[in-house]
Amino acid sequence: MISVRELLRLTAIKYQKIFKKFFWIYLFSISGSIIFIIFLTLYFVVDQFFLPSKLWLSILSGFLMTGASILAIIVSLLGTIALFLLMQDVDSNFRDLIKKAKFYFWPFAWANFLVGLFVLLWSLLLFVPGVIYYVFYSLTSYVLIFEGIKGQAALKRSKELIQGYWWPVFWRIIIFQTLLLVAQIVISAPLAFFNSETIVYSVVSLVVSFLASIILIPATFVYPYLIYQNLKAINPTLSVASVGLVEK
């Protein structure tokens, strides 16, 4: 399997290629959450000064909050799917990626719900089974988007790809997560110079969090994608048909 050093080198190369487009897609993906926060703030303001005497305003605010939360979820999912698509469609523009993302919306949401559910259920039994299946299912989104396999079949395909390489994949994930943690600590270092009880600290904290997301998140898409591509390359006989995953 590809070495960690080579993985990191290739990640850095692809990172540079996708960063500009990633930036705009990421802004799109969090725009729904920003709108939700704005509505939430307005709701608290209205609740403080108007709601006690205005029932209709309370009902309207409730509908707006519900709509804003649904919008945030939809936009976030579309943006996330577009980021996955960007791994292969480097030359596609923003509009095309979002348009393609709509096709995968429900299958992506369902597959990731299943991953979360199964990992949770295994974790309820014991911690170790949860970790084992977290690794086995870690490529589910890539399988869904790049091979068109949906639902539980996507989880099975991810497991088949990792079968026999669980430990190498596990250690590569651990090393990568450790590097991300170190990078996060370095980026957050300026916060040590501010009083945590001041407004300035809160503002700087938000800026640092945003910068950390912009800098680090692209790598969290690229690194697993390269693992996925490598496992497909070293398992050429493990086709979709051979493991019984051809979509009916």
Is residue 51 assigned to a domain? Answer: yes
pTM of the model: 0.85
* Dihedral Cα 123, 127, 128, 134, nearest 10 deg: 40
Check: CB of residue 194 under 8 Å from CB of residue 112.
no
- How far CA 196 is from CA of 187, 203, 205, in Å, comes to 17, 11, 9
Is residue 77 assigned to a domain? Answer: yes
Q: Measured between alpha carbons, how far is 38 from 71 in angstroms, rounded to an integer?
A: 13
pLDDT tens for each residue of 16-26: 999 999 999 99
182 CB contacts (<8 Å, ≥6 apart)? none
Q: Which is higher by pLDDT, 171 or 37? A: 171
Question: Mean pLDDT, the chain, as a whole number?
Answer: 87
Is residue 247 assigned to a domain? Answer: no
Is residue 28 assigned to a domain? Answer: yes
Is residue 75 assigned to a domain? Answer: yes
Q: For position 244, what pLDDT does the model report? A: 46
DSSP track, the chain = ---HHHHHHHHHHHHHHHHHHHHHHHHHHHHHHHHHHHHHHHHHHHHHHTGGG-HHHHHHHHHHHHHHHHHHHHHHHHHHHHHHHHTT-TT--HHHHHHHHHHHHHHHHHHHHHHHHHHHHHHHH-HHHHHHHHHHTTTHHHHHHHH---HHHHHHHHHHHHTT-HHHHHHHHHHHHHHHHHHHHHHHGGGGGS-TTSHHHHHHHHHHHHHHHHHHHHHHHHHHHHHHHHHHHH-TT--TGGGT----
Q: How confident is the model at residue 242 (pLDDT cuts 50, 70, 90)?
A: very low
Number of separate domains in the chain: 1
**Above 60 in pLDDT, residue 245?**
no
| Domain ranges, residue 212 | 4-242
Q: Measured between alpha carbons, how far is 221 from 82 in angstroms, rounded to an integer?
A: 11
**Above 70 in pLDDT, residue 175?**
yes
Is residue 57 assigned to a domain? Answer: yes
Q: For position 58, what pLDDT does the model report? A: 66
Averaged pLDDT for residues 57-82? 84
**Above 50 in pLDDT, residue 53?**
yes
Q: Measured between alpha carbons, how far is 75 from 69 in angstroms, rounded to an integer?
A: 10
Q: For position 55, what pLDDT does the model report? A: 65
Q: How confident is the model at residue 102 (pLDDT cuts 50, 70, 90)?
A: very high
**Above 90 in pLDDT, residue 238?**
no
Q: How confident is the model at residue 246 (pLDDT cuts 50, 70, 90)?
A: very low
Is residue 122 assigned to a domain? Answer: yes
**Above 60 in pLDDT, residue 158?**
yes
